Structure formats: structure tokens, C-alpha cells
Amino acid sequence: MVKRASWWLVKIHRSYTVEEVSRLLGVSKATVWRWIKNGLVAIQDRKPALISGANLIDFLKSRSRPKQKCALDECYCFTCKSPRKIAFGEAEIDCKNSNIPNMLGLCSICSSLMFKRISKSKLSEISTVLRLTFKQGDEPISNRPPPCLNDHLQQEQDQ
Ligand SMILES: [Zn+2]
């Protein structure tokens, strides 16, 4: 992994060659070319290729974000290695095994199964952008006491 690149060294109104970027940020030229392959916008129809400071800053900022944030109707797809919209606008909520529900859906690009943990308080907000189906256990969720209450009762019975 590349160390967190110092985008604040980049001047927004300048254009840089690959060599200049490599010197400025202390990375190899091969790394800069890899960035270009991975989405850094460069003007390549002339030699040397030029990268605008603004594009470079955008790219570095998006890289240095610790986690890519998913929108409400997105999950992180491990196949695409990117947040992806949930296909068909349909997700399944699985609260069977945990107090924190899992939201499952298919990647709109590659159809892989994606999931993320969501907080219950977000459910109503999510249901405005996605059709949600609730995966239920043996009994309806509404009939079950919350798990923490369960533990408490269990302890009292044990004593
Ligand atoms: Zn995908």
C-alpha cells in the first residue's frame, strides 16, 4: 500500500508530468502510472503526459479516505472493490442473529452478494430509497423481546 499521499503539496492550478508528481510526493514513477491506470485522470495524448493539480488532489483525497463511504442505497462490493448501488432497489434485512441488522443486496454491476451492517435507527431512512424485505426467524421480529432483555431475564432465572 502507498503511504497516505500528501495532497496538500499539490498546487491546484498547476499541471504535472509523471516525473514531477513522483518527485513531489516521493513515490516512484511506476506508482504514478499505476494511479493513472486506477483512475487518476491524465492527458496522455501528448508527451510527456500531464496531470492537472486539481485531478491529482481529487485522486489522492479519495485514496486517503480510510473507508469509502456508501450512500444509503449502496453497499461495498468486494468484487468491484468499490461502493455499488444495490440492484433492483431491493435489499433484505437480516436481524436474526444480531442486534445490529445486516442489509443484503446484489451489486448492480457484477451481481455479487453485498452486505453491510446498519443501525436500526437508519432503517426508516433506508426504506425511503430501497424496498426492504425482512428476513424473519421462527417468529415475527415484533413478537420477540430485544436480545438484551433476553439476557437479563436469563440471568435472573439462573440466579
Ligand atoms: Zn460488484
Domain at 7-64, CATH class = mainly alpha
Measure the N-to-C terminal CA separation of the chain; round to a whole number of Å: 53
Q: How far is the CA of 34 from the centre of ligand 1 (A)?
A: 21
9 backbone dihedrals φ, ψ, rounded to 5°: -80, -15
Q: How far is the CA of 78 from the centre of ligand 1 (A)?
A: 7
| Residue 147's pLDDT band (cuts 50, 70, 90) | low
Q: Residue 101 corresponds to which amino acid?
A: P
Q: How far is the CA of 12 from the centre of ligand 1 (A)?
A: 32
Contact (CB, 8 A) for 27 and 5 = yes
| DSSP letters for 41-53 | --B-SSSS-EEEH
The pairing of beta strand 90-94 with beta strand 131-135: parallel
pLDDT tens, position by position, 42-76: 998 878 899 999 999 989 887 766 666 789 999 99
The residue ranking higher by pLDDT, 155 or 42, is 42
Domains of the chain by residue range: 7-64, 74-139
Q: How far is the CA of 159 from the centre of ligand 1 (A)?
A: 50
Q: How far apart are CA 131 and CA 90, in angstroms?
A: 5
159 pLDDT exceeds 90? no
Contact (CB, 8 A) for 130 and 108 = no
Q: How far is the CA of 84 from the centre of ligand 1 (A)?
A: 6
Q: How far is the CA of 64 from the centre of ligand 1 (A)?
A: 22
